[in-house]
Structure 1
Amino acid sequence: MKNIRNILLPLCIFMLFSCEDELTKVPDFISEDNVFESEPLTEAYLANVYQDIRFFNWGGQAGLNIGMIPAIGGEHICFADWQDPNTTYQRTYSAAAGDGPVGYYPWNNIRDVNYMIENIVESTSFNQDYINAKAAEAKYLRAYMYFEMVKRYGGVPLITKVQDVNDPEEELYPSRNTEQEVYDFIISELDSAIPYLSAEPIGGQGRADKWAALSLQSRAALYAASIANFGQVQIEGVVGIPNSLAQSYYQKSYDASKEIIESGNFVLYNEYSDKVENYINLFIDDNNSEVIFAQVFEPIIKGTSFDNLAFPAEFRAGWGCNFPVLYDMVELFDFQDGTLGTSISRDEFNANNKWDIDEFFGNRDPRFRASVFYPETTFKGGLIYFHSSTLYTNGQGQKVEVSSGNLDRNGEVWPASAHARNVRNTALLRRKNVNENLDLPISGDSGQDFAIFRLGEIYLNLAEAAYYLNQMNESLDAVNMIRERAGMPLYDQISEENLRKERQVELCFETHRYWDLVRWRTAPDYLDNVRMKGLVFKYDLDEDRYIITLKNAEPVTREFGPERFYFPIDQGIIADNPNWVQNPGYE
């Protein structure tokens, strides 16, 4: 999966790139006129675009932005309120405040892609097959960037040529296209690129191929269908898509998903008989046949600090404990016997009830156990602790509660309380994507790839599209493929509710839930006027059980009004181009 790094040396050329951020920049590095006469320079040019896109956000303070979309989606937050993921979910969104760290305006990158598409066709050094392939790859990247914008803002200007300062004013200061036009552009761009992209799967190496393009089409068309189905057209279509178009978008998503599944190039990862171990390794094993397209990393050379940020306190070398999981998310995970995760009333979390931790957590969906660290999780040959204190009967026959020192638990050392970093927020931590094989991870030490598209999502895309196309049996079969792999009981029938819950569980922490709640227009039901919860664990040594109570995991009550289906347009954008209209609710 590491072939993309073969072009790292040519990338040094691009240290001479201008840092300008306008579409009209004039190149001041090695002349762009020469780039598309040299294959190494062309590959380096494209690699620079890939690098700048960051298919998921792994920037920010030490890489903490990995947690940004899960935080605003109510899955997990970050350790401290000053960290960007937390300031983002706590933010008051307005015209004046703008969209903050979640904003995305990749005009510089789009300009570079436009330049390549326009000029590679003029090459006298390349054969037509190479020109077609590289232009198609550039179109995929441009489509991906527009998708990232349209899901945030609705319609944005479609700029498909390099702007020049001498262009007419209406070209230099374009108005926003409609949301429908942007989605149609994305889908048509991919249609035109797919015939020229590699049919051999190379997306796991971080490069666009036919299957990555079909995956983007599957996802983008599904989003467009949802907006048409559940949304409202406003400001003359700049946001919203006519309801009459929903079925055609569902069909496009279904067709793209079906082609990927039936290609036989990808299979659901099933290398381990133990369902928990299998799901853990799906996100650690860089060489598996489920991944369609990945953001590729290599320790030290191009590594992340994810494990340094995520390791629980007992095993950390640096920050650790930075992704506390919210109990509201835990409730989505049902038990393996089919009992609903919400069947336990929150009223039962009181000082009078004591819980067997294996029954409370260990009998849940294996995907929960693979995705979340909870009390007494086994990790690296040891246990992870989340209790704030221990109760036991002392030598005088008195029941006492202690929070320091060590106790004896059947001949084993038992800490009276867990490390403060484990306990502080929710007393649960994200495990998904954590590489247990590392010893003491340091900054830049993590080399596991992050799947941007994987077959599990494609099955769920197909299931959702099939459901709204009234193909219920196919929808049910697709969801049950995912549940069978997870070791969960199969559904007898499909419903909108279990379809949506399955998606949130299977794709948890993979930056899907927030966007799904937005496109379904259900986000206010989950993210408005709510303060997400964490847990407090007290361990009873005599009974080997826990007293579990709830606590507020967040310092503020979340707000999510209907205006938040789209982020506000940054005022700087509108100041530069008054033809950009502000999104509804932010005037």
Structure 2
Amino acid sequence: MKNIRNIFIPLCMFLLFSCEDQLTKVPNFISEDNIFESKPLTEAYIAKIYQDLRFINFGGDNGYNVAMIPAVGGEHICFADWQSPNTTYQRTYSAAAGDGPIGYYPWGNIRDANYVIENIAKSTSFEQDYIDSKTAEAKYLRAHMYFEMVKRYGGVPLITNVQAVDDPEEELYPSRKTEKEIYDFILSELDAAIPFLSTEPTGGLGRVDRWTALSLKSRAALYAASIANFGEVQLDGVVGIPNAQAESYYQMSYDASKEIIDSGNFTLYNEYEDKVENYINLFLDDGNSEVVFAQVFEPIVKGTGFDRLAFPAEFRGGWGCNFPVLYDLVELFDFQDGTLGTSITRDQLVADNMWDMDAFFGNRDPRFRASVFYPETTFKGGLIYFHSSTLYTNEAGEKVEATSGNLDRQGESWPAAAHPRNVRNTALLRRKNVNENLDLPNTGESGQDFAIFRLGETYLNLAEAAFYLNNMDESLNAINMLRERAGMPFYDQITEYNLRKERQVELCFENQRYWDLVRWRIAPQYLDDVRMKGLVFKYDLDEDKYIITLKNAEPVTREFGPERFYFPIDQGIIADNPKWVQNPGY
């Protein structure tokens, strides 16, 4: 029995047809049988797969789920504990509790990709080149979805055909493949798609091309290599990859990265002399030379509420202050003179010490200053404040502490305390991706694109693969290219620690750190038995310096045992298909 599903064709699609078509020939609901005789319908069908793929999770009110992966990865959290990014890092992961909001089982969308791959070749209306390119596009999208699953669960059932209700039981309820088999499927699908995808870069416009597929290959092969290198094979390979496979996967990642770099189609973004301004605009200049593939947005038409969520309190149009940055991440950012970020020890953050903002924050890596709002950051022609109080000597000669009203600072008005929303949680906020050009941003008014793949990551992938292939000079050169762009001193030698730290700094808040810590199998060192920290700032008006102390930014102690290298399989999934064996440790 053929599995038929009706799909709604939006009104805008009818504009592609004549008036007669609109009124008499094209019904509001069209059977899938007719899709592949019309290019507009085919494009609409594939566009729906893109839409449902969730390259970046903008679920939740105004899209606050964009913070979910940064939250579980210990980069930044959300404003309130009821928001799903916070419940996701705080929750218990068990067989009974399942994987919660971070879960990803896109079987319906995979089914639609399978339908394209199975049926577009039967078209009597399309030329072969079009059939090949759309098949390749669907193969990429299917591979991307399997990658999102394998990095969460390890091996999963591999379904590459459109299922029907009367199919044999063994086809309807397949067993989990090994993790290696899923990675090999992803890489082979990409290899099959690449020759038929456009060599003209279209990824910056949100359309998969050859370079997008090579970028996913670069990333997926690197993940597989790491799991083989550092992981453990369990459940007969359902999770884990044999160590002997690591070198071949590193080589695949290296080769894909090298092809992207050598193509000459992309360059590291270097449009502004000021390094902070340059890095800020890397994420606001849509379609720039560094972007390989992006999730594309337009204000109002297809906008997000990102800036409404992210703007500091002084400039917010609505909610604001939703992405408090954790001090644990800040410590990864070194100073521009090469001094380690941890050279300021936590023992020094006491009430007896005072700090100049330039010494504490302003002289750090320009990527920090471009990614994080901190006290007295300049924004929209004003200052952003994060101090909870101001100390000063009054007219009676007494040292007093004010928490309300305004004071005089060198002839200018100074708030005794910052807005409570700025101060709450960590007294630091995410700046990366924030569009300063908006005024009082509201829902749907943010139109900046979000890069899924960019050349900066490609250099990091190449550097990591080269390191484990013992090409140390090439690894070092790739890392130093990024450091040069950032305005940081070169490394003299490459080490595993420097390689990993550079990746966390360059890609902060880009939904990478959590998965990196997991694939390197070092997540427990950073995410287990820890309460991440925030800061408390008290400004001393007499000294023009700050007292900075630590506070707990989180209500619970994080837990991350080795079982968490994979998420538990949701019990509902196992109930539907008992061949989904549960992951180890649950």
TM-score category, normalised to shorter length:
over 0.9
Distance 1:11 1:256, change over 3 A: farther
Which digits, 9 at most, give the CA deviation of each residue in 1:161-214, with x for residues without a partner?
001112111000000000000000000000000000000000001010000000
- Aligned counterpart, 1:403: 403
Which digits, 9 at most, give the CA deviation of each residue in 1:143-166, with x for residues without a partner?
000000000000001100001112
AA at the equivalent of 2:217: Q
Q: Secondary structure at the match of 2:499?
A: helix
Which digits, 9 at most, give the CA deviation of each residue in 1:355-378, with x for residues without a partner?
001111000000000000000000
- Aligned counterpart, 2:13: 10
Decide whether the 8 Å contact of 1:427 with 1:536 is kept in 2: yes
Moved over 4 A (4+): none
Q: Secondary structure at the match of 1:547?
A: strand
Cα shift at 1:8: 8.3
C-alpha distance in 1, partners of 2:219/2:36? 32
C-alpha distance in 2, partners of 1:12/1:294? 27
Unaligned 5+ runs, structure 2: 1-9, 17-27
- Aligned counterpart, 1:546: 546
C-alpha distance in 1, partners of 2:314/2:62? 20
- Aligned counterpart, 1:100: 100
C-alpha distance in 1, partners of 2:12/2:401? 60
Q: Does 1:311 pair with 2:311?
A: yes
- Aligned counterpart, 1:16: none
Cα shift at 1:12: 11
Q: Secondary structure at the match of 1:551?
A: strand
Q: Does 1:148 pair with 2:151?
A: no
Decide whether the 8 Å contact of 1:11 with 1:47 is kept in 2: no
- Aligned counterpart, 1:50: 50
Distance 1:8 1:201, change over 3 A: farther
- Aligned counterpart, 2:373: 373
So what's the TM-score if we normalise by structure 2?
A: 0.96
Cα shift at 1:91: 0.7
AA at the equivalent of 1:9: C
Distance 1:312 1:94, change over 3 A: same
- Aligned counterpart, 1:387: 387
Decide whether the 8 Å contact of 2:136 with 2:194 is kept in 1: yes
Decide whether the 8 Å contact of 2:504 with 2:513 is kept in 1: yes
- Aligned counterpart, 2:208: 208
C-alpha distance in 2, partners of 1:97/1:54? 23
| Residues 143-182 of structure 1 aligned to structure 2 (within 5 Å) | 143-182=143-182
Q: Does 1:323 pair with 2:323?
A: yes
AA at the equivalent of 1:204: G
Q: Secondary structure at the match of 1:440?
A: coil
C-alpha distance in 1, partners of 2:287/2:479? 24
Q: Does 1:85 pair with 2:85?
A: yes
Decide whether the 8 Å contact of 2:79 with 2:323 is kept in 1: yes
C-alpha distance in 2, partners of 1:297/1:8? 20
Q: Secondary structure at the match of 2:194?
A: helix
| Residues 85-484 of structure 1 aligned to structure 2 (within 5 Å) | 85-484=85-484
C-alpha distance in 2, partners of 1:521/1:569? 20
Decide whether the 8 Å contact of 1:183 with 1:220 is kept in 2: yes
Which digits, 9 at most, give the CA deviation of each residue in 1:248-283, with x for residues without a partner?
000000000000000000000000000000000000
Q: Secondary structure at the match of 1:36?
A: helix
- Aligned counterpart, 1:18: none
- Aligned counterpart, 1:71: 71
Which digits, 9 at most, give the CA deviation of each residue in 1:445-465, with x for residues without a partner?
100000000000000000000
Q: Secondary structure at the match of 1:392?
A: strand
Cα shift at 1:9: 2.0
Distance 1:8 1:480, change over 3 A: farther
So what's the TM-score if we normalise by structure 1?
A: 0.96
C-alpha distance in 1, partners of 2:421/2:186? 44
C-alpha distance in 2, partners of 1:12/1:332? 52
C-alpha distance in 2, partners of 1:371/1:377? 11
Q: Secondary structure at the match of 2:37?
A: coil
Unaligned 5+ runs, structure 1: 1-6, 14-27
Decide whether the 8 Å contact of 2:53 with 2:109 is kept in 1: yes
Decide whether the 8 Å contact of 1:270 with 1:485 is kept in 2: yes
AA at the equivalent of 2:355: W
Q: Secondary structure at the match of 1:568?
A: coil
Decide whether the 8 Å contact of 1:302 with 1:447 is kept in 2: yes
C-alpha distance in 2, partners of 1:427/1:245? 45
- Aligned counterpart, 1:30: 30
Decide whether the 8 Å contact of 1:11 with 1:44 is kept in 2: no
Cα shift at 1:287: 2.9
C-alpha distance in 2, partners of 1:406/1:224? 57
Which digits, 9 at most, give the CA deviation of each residue in 1:338-364, with x for residues without a partner?
000011110101111000011110000
Distance 1:425 1:172, change over 3 A: same
Decide whether the 8 Å contact of 2:392 with 2:541 is kept in 1: yes
AA at the equivalent of 1:435: N
Distance 1:348 1:263, change over 3 A: same
Decide whether the 8 Å contact of 1:463 with 1:475 is kept in 2: yes
Decide whether the 8 Å contact of 1:332 with 1:342 is kept in 2: yes
Which digits, 9 at most, give the CA deviation of each residue in 1:217-248, with x for residues without a partner?
00000000000000000000000000000000
- Aligned counterpart, 1:20: none
C-alpha distance in 1, partners of 2:313/2:359? 24
Cα shift at 1:29: 4.2
C-alpha distance in 2, partners of 1:8/1:294? 26
Decide whether the 8 Å contact of 1:533 with 1:551 is kept in 2: yes
Deviates more, 1:79-88 or 1:164-173: 164-173
Distance 1:256 1:498, change over 3 A: same
AA at the equivalent of 1:70: P
Decide whether the 8 Å contact of 1:367 with 1:505 is kept in 2: yes
Decide whether the 8 Å contact of 2:90 with 2:556 is kept in 1: yes
Deviates more, 1:286-295 or 1:375-384: 286-295
Decide whether the 8 Å contact of 2:534 with 2:553 is kept in 1: yes
Decide whether the 8 Å contact of 1:71 with 1:89 is kept in 2: yes
RMSD: 1.1
AA at the equivalent of 2:52: D
Cα shift at 1:524: 0.1
Q: Does 1:583 pair with 2:586?
A: no
Which digits, 9 at most, give the CA deviation of each residue in 1:65-123, with x for residues without a partner?
00000000000000000000000000100000000000000000000000110000000
Decide whether the 8 Å contact of 1:11 with 1:48 is kept in 2: no
Cα shift at 1:58: 1.0
Cα shift at 1:59: 1.1
- Aligned counterpart, 1:573: 573
In the alignment of these two chains, the number of paired residues is 566
Decide whether the 8 Å contact of 2:205 with 2:287 is kept in 1: no
C-alpha distance in 2, partners of 1:65/1:366? 27
Cα shift at 1:10: 2.4
Which digits, 9 at most, give the CA deviation of each residue in 1:270-313, with x for residues without a partner?
00000000000000000311000000000011100000000000
C-alpha distance in 1, partners of 2:524/2:457? 24
